[in-house]
């Protein structure tokens, strides 16, 4: 497919989907917006998705952390939960206690990853980035610029580069097995995702068992009274303190994909019903009539009607009535995944409306350059600036949304079976996703520290020289709510990098590059 061929196509009339109070006028506005032409994207503008630099940065951080967190096999007793759910024999037992989260732009640790404990919700993203690289090496080697080894040296090397990379993946994912039995968090889908990738790339059944166990653990947080999975046990800021679980039930959007996957693998209809019901409750309680989103819904588990909302809030965005860009992006990706698993047109219609709202906000962006990189909150009018002197952005929100749009494009491509959206090929969403990726490369890709892969002449092992910036991307904003307990903005962010790599892999799987 020619990425530069972006000629706008006529869009036939959609049927009206009543999604949380949507009116016919809303759909007419969506139709008019969908007819807008989009800037073309040339394939050459996306080459940095596959550069040596992006692989080398991940490799460098992975090796440096392992070098500083290594123990011997005698420490296997530190992983009792691994032994319960896995029979995999690990040649090295890593003692990784902290995982990368964000890279500050200023201060004494400028350019270096700040870490969070392995129990933190972001722990799965860096290992997932490693598995993205492993996928390229195994399935798309032309887009994996590893240094070449002379053929007459291969037989004498102690291990191949592939084995080195796979060992890194396994070392980083091993501590995650222990999370599979946790019932005190809803973030298991993110935390255990590297185990799903390990299963899909290597066929390791221990990783699959841990992933399915995690889905079963997450399902224990479902409450039939509200028709949802409890997302958070508490929410605290400078203006509220919600810790009473008897009278508060906090939900957000990202709980479904893990359970759907496990339900499909195990043919467990109960798991599928739980994930579907949670999605329907999210549809009812977190999407506004204009297809913008709240971040959080606090449900009343004592109300006679399922899914009764006590109040809505936006915990990490600007304000309760604003549209936090990454929250909108999570909803786009979540409902695209949910439609993929269920085939329910309500979820597809919701995903399209959420996406159209996101696109319209990007098209109205007040920024000076690269408008397809979203503001951190679409309603922020404070004029707060990033290190470029432009309006504060969130590159992670753009890349999460772009991944959701690629999936939306894919599911619309197979609607030729006479379904409700059969005449929509989803080309528009591919175009927008490519525009987001192009602008992200131009605006947020770190250009000061170009990492390079080197091969040791004696051992054949890959090494990456030290650098000045650990992340692939800059200009993400994790939490800039004025009342947040901790605010941090305009930084590198581990899940921005993961979704950047995953976006590149999605294009490869789709045969577009």
pLDDT band for position 422 (cuts 50, 70, 90): low
- Any domain includes 322: yes
List of E strands, 407-508: 454-455, 462-463, 492-493
SS3 96: coil
485 part of a folded domain: yes
Task: Tally the domains of the chain.
Answer: 1
Extract the tokens encoding 411. Answer: 């599911």
Residue 107 lies in a domain: yes
Q: pLDDT tens across 128-177, in order?
A: 999 999 999 999 988 887 765 444 444 443 357 888 999 999 999 999 99
More confident residue, 294 or 159: 294
What does the pLDDT average to over 212-234?
Answer: 97
Mean pLDDT of 58-84: 63
Q: How confident is the model at residue 513 (pLDDT cuts 50, 70, 90)?
A: confident
Measuring CA to CA, which residue among 446, 463, 447 is closest to residue 455? 463
- Secondary structure element (H or E) that encloses residue 58, with its range: helix 52-68
DSSP state, residue 476: B
Locus of tokens 């588990």? 301
Assigned domain for 10 exists: no
Is a pLDDT exceeding 90 seen at residue 262?
A: yes
158: its two tokens: 């102690």
Q: Which residues on adjacent β-strands are paired with residue 242?
A: 235
Mean pLDDT is lowest, of 28-42, 116-130, 270-284, 288-302, for: 28-42
Q: What percent of the chain has pLDDT over 90?
A: 76
Is 5 a member of any domain? no
Indicate the pLDDT class of residue 418, thresholds 50, 70 and 90: low
φ, ψ of residue 402 in degrees (nearest 5): -60, -40
Residue 303 phi/psi, 5-degree rounding, is -75, 150
Give the pLDDT confidence score for residue 40 in this predicted structure. 84
Cα separation of 297 and 109, whole Å? 36
Neighbours of 188 (CB within 10 A): 27
pLDDT for position 305: 93
First to last CA, the chain: 8
Q: Give yes or no for a contact between 109 and 478, defined as CB atoms under 8 angstroms apart.
A: no
- How far, rounded to the nearest angstrom, does the alpha carbon of residue 499 sit from its chain's CA centroid? 5
479: tokens are 């939490």
Tokens standing for residue 361: 């906000």
15 domain residue, yes or no:
no
Q: Report the CATH number at residue 412.
A: 1.50.10.10
**Of 158 and 364, the one with more pLDDT:** 364
Q: In angstroms, what CA-CA distances link 279 with 123, 293, 307, 351, 361?
A: 24, 14, 11, 12, 24
* pLDDT number for residue 458: 82
- Position 36 scores a pLDDT of 58
Q: Give the lowest-confidence range in 70-84, 217-231, 324-338, 442-456.
A: 70-84
- Let me know: does 204 contact 86? Beta carbons within 8 Å: no
pLDDT band at 457 (very low <50, low <70, confident <90, very high): confident
Q: 34-48, 209-223, 357-371, 459-473 — which is least confidently predicted? A: 34-48
With CA atoms as reference, report the closest residue to 136 among 408, 461, 510, 501.
501
121-141 residues labelled b (16+ CB within 10 A) or e (exposed): bbbbbbbbbbbbbbbbbeebe
pLDDT (0 to 100) of residue 9: 33
Structural domain range at position 337 = 24-509
* pLDDT for residue 24: 36
240 DSSP 8-state letter: -
pLDDT at 37 over 90: no
Q: How many residues does the chain have?
A: 513
Report how far residue 442's alpha carbon sits from residue 439's, in angstroms, rounded to the nearest whole number. 5
pLDDT band at 459 (very low <50, low <70, confident <90, very high): confident
**Is the predicted pLDDT of residue 485 greater than 70, yes or no?**
yes
**Span 319-323, average pLDDT:** 97
Q: Give residues with Cβ within 8 angstroms of 223, minimum separation 6.
A: 229, 230, 249, 301
Q: What are the tens digits of pLDDT across the range 300-313?
A: 999 999 999 999 99
pLDDT band at 2 (very low <50, low <70, confident <90, very high): very low
Residue 1 lies in a domain: no
Q: Give the pLDDT score at 77.
A: 35
Q: Is 323 a member of any domain?
A: yes
Q: How far apart are CA 469 and CA 478, in angstroms?
A: 18
Q: If you average pLDDT over every residue of the chain, what do you get?
A: 87
Average pLDDT over residues 387-403: 97
pLDDT at 180 over 70: yes
Does position 79 have pLDDT exceeding 90, yes or no? Answer: no
DSSP 8-state symbol, 450: -
* SS3 state of residue 194: helix
pLDDT at 96 over 50: yes
Does the pLDDT at position 185 exceed 80? yes
Most confident stretch, 2-6, 357-361, 416-420: 357-361
Query: What is the arithmetic mean of pLDDT over 478-485?
Result: 97
Give the global pTM. 0.89
User: What integer pLDDT is reported at residue 111 of this predicted model?
Assistant: 97
**Mean pLDDT confidence for 29-39:** 55
């Amino acid at each position: 497919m020619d990425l530069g061929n972006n000629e706008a196509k006529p869009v036939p009339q959609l049927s009206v989907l009543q999604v949380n109070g949507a009116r016919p006028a809303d759909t007419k506005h969506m139709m008019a917006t969908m007819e807008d032409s989009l800037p073309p994207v040339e394939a050459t503008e996306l080459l940095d998705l596959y550069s040596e630099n992006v692989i080398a940065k991940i490799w460098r951080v992975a090796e440096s952390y392992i070098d500083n967190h290594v123990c011997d096999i005698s420490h296997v007793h530190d992983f009792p939960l691994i032994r319960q759910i896995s029979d995999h024999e690990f040649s090295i037992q890593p003692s990784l206690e902290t995982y990368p989260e964000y890279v500050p732009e200023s201060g004494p640790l400028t350019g270096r990853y700040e870490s969070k404990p392995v129990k933190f919700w972001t722990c799965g993203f860096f290992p997932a980035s490693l598995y993205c690289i492993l996928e390229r090496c195994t399935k798309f080697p032309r887009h994996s610029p590893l240094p070449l080894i002379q053929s007459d040296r291969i037989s004498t090397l102690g291990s191949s580069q592939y084995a080195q990379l796979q060992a890194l993946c396994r070392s980083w994912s091993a501590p995650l097995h222990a999370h599979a039995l946790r019932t005190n968090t809803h973030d298991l889908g993110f935390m255990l995702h590297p185990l799903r990738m390990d299963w899909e790339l290597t066929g390791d059944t221990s990783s699959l068992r841990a992933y399915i166990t995690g889905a079963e653990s997450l399902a224990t947080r479902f409450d039939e009274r509200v028709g949802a999975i409890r997302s958070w046990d508490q929410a605290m800021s400078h203006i509220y303190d919600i810790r009473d679980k008897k009278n508060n039930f906090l939900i957000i959007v990202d709980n479904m994909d893990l359970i759907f996957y496990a339900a499909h693998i195990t043919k467990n209809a109960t798991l599928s019903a739980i994930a579907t019901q949670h999605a329907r409750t999210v549809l009812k309680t977190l999407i506004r009539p204009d297809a913008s989103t709240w971040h959080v819904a606090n449900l009343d588990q004592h109300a006679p009607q399922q899914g009764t909302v006590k109040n809505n809030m936006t915990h990490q965005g600007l304000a309760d009535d604003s549209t936090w860009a990454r929250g909108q992006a999570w909803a786009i990706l979540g409902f695209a995944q949910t439609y993929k698993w269920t085939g329910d047109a309500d979820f597809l219609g919701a995903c399209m409306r959420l996406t159209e709202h996101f696109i319209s906000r990007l098209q109205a962006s007040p920024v000076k350059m690269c408008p397809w990189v979203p503001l951190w909150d679409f309603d922020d009018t404070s004029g707060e600036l990033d290190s470029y002197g432009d309006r504060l952005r969130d590159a992670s929100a753009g890349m999460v949304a772009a991944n959701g749009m690629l999936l939306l494009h894919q599911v619309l491509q197979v609607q030729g079976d006479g379904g409700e959206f059969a005449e929509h090929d989803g080309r528009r969403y591919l175009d927008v996703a490519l525009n987001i990726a192009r602008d992200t490369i131009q605006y947020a890709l770190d250009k000061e520290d170009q990492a390079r892969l080197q091969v040791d002449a004696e051992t054949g092992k890959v090494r990456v020289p030290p650098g000045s910036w650990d992340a692939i991307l800059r200009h993400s904003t994790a939490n800039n709510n004025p009342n947040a307990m901790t605010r941090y903005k305009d930084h590198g962010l581990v899940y921005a990098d993961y979704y950047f790599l995953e976006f590149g892999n999605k294009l490869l799987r789709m045969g577009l590059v």
